[in-house]
Amino acid sequence: MKKNKIIVVKGISIATLKYSNEDFISLTNIARNKNEQEPKDVVKNWMRSRTTIEFLGIWEQLNNPDFKGVEFDSFLFEAGSNSFTLSPAKWIEATNASGIISRRGNNGGTFAHKDIAFEFASWVSAGFKLYLIKEFQRLKEDETNRLKLEWNLQRTLAKVNYRIHTDAIKENIIPGLITKEQASFIYASEADILNMALFGKTAQQWRTENAAKEGLPAGQAGNIRDWATLEQLVVLSNMESINAVMLHQGNALCN
């Protein structure tokens, strides 16, 4: 679970977070648009509705293989009666729901998957829901742009380190009297040692696999490193730097 990020909707601060690689939004904060003093009651009132229980159950059935359907049926049968009450904690505990989570502490409250949070916001206020979606989309666009920038920086760094890596190979491994084709083979072999360690396959294996998917000749499939994740590029950059240092150190010991 990652640290909360805040969006402001019509003057109300609403926390969002990443949980199991999914976006969750604070129902407690959204409820403040309807009742500033007792937002928990707003959430509980929403969960009393048969329509809400039905929606939550279908969402869980679609997204949660561990969802307890028998307990859900029991809640669905009782929903709507005057005596029926349901809290987020009771729903989670009874059905093993994953679409709603509860957190304690200063940054706590009830959070729900964005699909559920938008449904709740619509119940609170249709207009508020539209503002919420707009601000949430703005947050995701900012995150995407930041990740693209970080990826580009790491890809550039990996390319710089690749040049350092090839220079180390040239100085410490490649003999003086060989052809360019032979030198290219040595460069590729050293690069594929890192590719195997990081990606589990050589550059040629990756090109062949992906060309088959796209229906392209193997030479047009691209570069495995251009499709690496941000985390993989960070590791790759460090591996290239360390390997270059080790090549220099190994040559120094031999001399």
89-104 burial code (b ≥16 CB/10 A, e <16): eebbeebebbbbbbbe
Q: Sheet harboring 100-103: ordered strands across?
A: 5-9, 12-19, 22-26, 109-113, 100-103
Angle (CA) 212-214-217 rounded to 5° is 60
The pLDDT tens digits for 54-104 are 999 999 999 999 999 899 999 988 887 888 888 999 999 999 999 999 877
User: What single DSSP character describes residue 177?
Assistant: S
Query: What gap in Å lies between CA 184 and CA 176, rounded to an integer?
Result: 13
The pLDDT tens digits for 196-253 are 777 777 777 777 777 765 555 555 556 777 777 777 777 767 666 666 666 556 554 4
Give the domain ranges of the chain: 5-124, 147-254
Global pTM reads 0.58
